[in-house]
Amino acid sequence: MAVIDIHDVEKTYKGKIHALRGVSLEVHDGEIFGLLGPNGAGKSTLVKILMTVIHASKASGTFLGQPIGHRPTLRQVGYLPEHHRFPQYLTAIQVLQYYGALSKVPKAIRTKRAYELLERLGLTGWEKKRVSTFSKGMLQRLGIAIALINDPTIVVLDEPTDGVDPVGRREIRDLLAELKSEGKAVFLNSHLLSELEMVCDRVAIMVKGQMTMQGTIDELTRDSTRFEVHIVGQPPEWANEAFDDVRDSMLIKHGDNTEELQSLIDKLRRDNISIGAIEPKRESLEDLFMRAVDHIDNPGSVR
């Protein structure tokens, strides 16, 4: 079942900024989904539409089986906004209690869960401290705790690792994996590609308000799977035909068919050509991302 299944979402801000131009997206039950895109692509806009913070110009599809904008569903959703500011006069535990109450979590459960979450996010000892004394990374952790206070079915995180140190990032990644094992779906926005690569089951790349690719990392990079054979000396004549690409002493064969590769190696050896190295290669998420950004190359802004 899809927890998020939306089509043709459009958003034009006042002032004619066309931030989303027909975005469609599907997030499945219990998976970690990463939404990638350069700055200003419209990632936060999409998330805010899901969270009813802004109104879409046009939207169809469902969010947890209900149309977008259906308020009661939001009880089952956790949200970490992009540039959050929690009430400065509250302590960590009070903030959690407050947002928990707004999410209609019963009082008894709320308090217990608040302490558990603070511990889980490494904020033990800070429960009774005012939010105004927190560092950026600590606020981020607190924000994630808030997103989990209502024990949501899906957690929507807008750049969760923003401002968090490497150890913290690792912890957050582990936490995401734990959430997944608890059966929760996670939807996250980020431009930290290597991080997404490590945790996401599926990713989508969004550029200038449009979705360019969507799928598992494996699916998206399959086309770019290849073997690179490095030889010593000049390549033989026949190599131009047998390989897909020849660059000086590097011969490239696309696909992941090892049988075919073996016969080519045999052929090279028969011609007494020394092989320095054979490398299986696959595009990284970064390459994919760059390709996607280049792909939509109408210069300037999203306007």
Ligand X SMILES: Nc1ncnc2c1ncn2[C@@H]1O[C@H](COP(=O)(O)OP(=O)(O)OP(=O)(O)O)[C@@H](O)[C@H]1O
From 11-19, 211-219, 263-271, 287-295, give the range in contact with ligand X by CB under 6 A: 11-19
d(CA 41, CA 62): 22
Q: According to DSSP H, which parts of 127-165 are helical?
A: 136-148
Q: How far does CA 179 lie from the centroid of its chain?
A: 15
Nearer to ligand X (CB atom), residue 181 or residue 301: 301
Q: How far is the CB of 77 from another protein (least distance, A)?
A: 7
Q: Does 75 bind another protein (CB under 8 A)?
A: yes
Angle between helices 107-120 and 136-148 (to 10 degrees): 140
Beta carbon nearer to Mg ion, 83 or 270: 83
Residue 173, burial from CB neighbour count under 10 angstroms (0-12, 13-18, 19+): middle
- Applying CB under 5 A, the span of 81-89, 176-184, 207-215, 279-287 interacting with Mg ion comes to 81-89
Interacting residues with another protein between 105 and 124 (CB under 8 A)? 107
- Alpha carbons 280 and 77: distance in angstroms, whole number: 42
Kindly tell me which residue out of 42, 81, 137, 143 binds ligand X, with binding defined by CB under 6 A: 42
Find which of another protein, ligand X, Mg ion, none residue 99 binds, CB within 5 to 8 Å per kind. another protein
From residue 35 to residue 54, the character string flagging contacts with another protein as x (rule: CB under 8 A) and all else as - is: -------------x--xxxx
In this structure, how many other beta carbons lie within 10 angstroms of the beta carbon of residue 118? 20
Piece of the chain touching ligand X by CB under 6 A; list 14-22, 213-221, 237-245, 269-277: 14-22
Contact 199, 176 (CB under 8 A): yes
Q: Which residue in 3, 4, 9, 19 binds ligand X (CB under 6 A)?
A: 19
Contact between 18 and another protein by CB under 8 A: the answer reads no
Strands 202-207 and 210-216: antiparallel
Contacts of Mg ion in 14-73 (CB under 5 A): 43-44
Q: How far is the CB of 40 from Mg ion (least distance, A)?
A: 8
- The DSSP call for residue 174 is H
Which among 43-51, 98-106, 127-135, 220-228 is the span making contact with ligand X, rule CB under 6 A? 43-51
Number of Cβ within a 10 Å radius of residue 57: 14
**Dihedral angle at the C-alpha atoms of 33, 37, 40, 43, nearest 10 degrees?**
-10
Contact call for residue 208 and ligand X (CB under 6 A)? no
Q: With CB under 6 A, what is the number of residues at the site for ligand X?
A: 15
3-state SS class at 273? coil
Contact 18, 300 (CB under 8 A): no
